Amino acid sequence: MPKYYEDLEPGATRTCGSRTLTRDEIVEFAERFDPQPFHVDEAAAQRSIFGGIVASGLHTMCASMRLYTDDFLDDIALVAGRGLDEVRFPNAVYPGDTLSVRIEGLEKSPSPSDPSWGEADVSLTTVTRDGETVLSLSNVFVVERRPADDSE
Amino acid sequence: MPKYYEDLEPGATRTCGSRTLTRDEIVEFAERFDPQPFHVDEAAAQRSIFGGIVASGLHTMCASMRLYTDDFLDDIALVAGRGLDEVRFPNAVYPGDTLSVRIEGLEKSPSPSDPSWGEADVSLTTVTRDGETVLSLSNVFVVERRPADDSE
């Protein structure tokens, strides 16, 4: 049984699983999508404010969204993602850093466009093992409402 | 010569290059970062509101940011990315869709944290060849100010 709109608990918190980003993965991802020198070139990265290669924020975000999908979204009757708000990268992710995602809360409201849908807004914070925040964002998604003929 | 804060023109617009997303790429990306059924499973995708496999919004965003990096960010004296705002996916990207990124404007302001830096906020819109908007977002980044001893 998937979780419907009615099953989502406002204010719910949860810690999703963890994931370590290796240097090879960081460089490979950045070469493909975000080839800034401080993501792909060790010498240039040493001269940057980071002092060494760091992960693309897009990579940190994608890895975090995967943890969030596996541990939270996976059993929800998802219709579609609608967007992301206030995506911030307050600290850099270095090779070997282990990321863990905290779901900080959840708000929900009926969909303005379809009575069989609802919308949910979840705040995510990604932290390293040292407790440093490397990413925060809000994810808005559309979820099915429980069908009227569905026996609980 | 890189472009410094002083060289960025508020209100500038530009169209960056284009990129076609193949079905294999869409599935491979989603299996790694966003394994929702409507991104990775043709039969499930046909039952979804999309009627077939569509790209993860994260994939659309990463591909768009690469076009933006290659055609705009690349020659800017970038210090770091700060974040993304109001990321929205108003229409889905289907296999074979060709994406192009429009930079719609730019605002800039001195950095509150460092007098040698400035901040810029650029609005991006990704459209298909049919002119359909598939992504919009704002990107905030930190850029170096022109060094005082730098001859123009």
The tally of CA atoms less than 13 A away on the side-chain side of residue B112 is: 1
Name which of A87, A117, A125 to mutate to probe chain B: the one with the most chain B Cβ atoms within 10 A of its Cβ: A87
Most confident among A52-61, A102-111, B74-83, B109-118 (mean pLDDT):
A52-61
Task: Provide the CA B4 distance to its chain's centre, in angstroms.
Answer: 20
Position A1 confidence tier, pLDDT thresholds 50, 70, 90: confident
Could you give the CA distance from residue B43 to residue B8 in angstroms, rounded to a whole number?
48
Q: Is A41 on the interface with B (CB under 8 A)?
A: no
> What digits encode the pLDDT tens for the residues B31-75?
999 999 999 999 999 999 999 999 999 999 999 999 999 999 999
Could you give the CA distance from residue B58 to residue B127 in angstroms, rounded to a whole number?
15
Q: Where are the domains of chain A?
A: 5-144
Q: Is the ipTM of this complex over 0.90?
A: yes
> What digits encode the pLDDT tens for the residues A28-61?
999 999 999 999 999 999 999 999 999 999 999 9
Q: Across residues A1-6, what is the average pLDDT?
A: 92
Could you give the CA distance from residue A122 to residue B101 in angstroms, rounded to a whole number?
28
What region does B109 belong to: left with phi over 0, alpha with psi -120 to 50, or beta?
Answer: beta
Task: Give the whole-number percent of chain B exceeding pLDDT 90.
Answer: 91
- Return the SS3 of B98: strand
Name which of A33, A94, A125, A137 to mutate to probe chain B: the one with the most chain B Cβ atoms within 10 A of its Cβ: A33
Question: What is the predicted pLDDT for the residue at A150?
Answer: 63
> What digits encode the pLDDT tens for the residues B92-107?
999 999 999 999 888 9
| The CATH number of domain B5-144 is 3.40.50.1390 | no
Residue B113 DSSP symbol: S
| A-chain residue closest to B66, CA distance | A33
Q: Is the pLDDT of residue A152 over 70?
A: no
**CA angle in degrees (0–180, nearest 5) for A18-A21-A24:** 155
Question: What is the predicted pLDDT for the residue at B12?
Answer: 86
Position B150 confidence tier, pLDDT thresholds 50, 70, 90: low
- Compare CB distances from B35 to A58, A69, A92 and report the shortest one's residue: A69
Question: What is the predicted pLDDT for the residue at A104?
Answer: 87
Q: Across residues A5-10, what is the average pLDDT?
A: 94
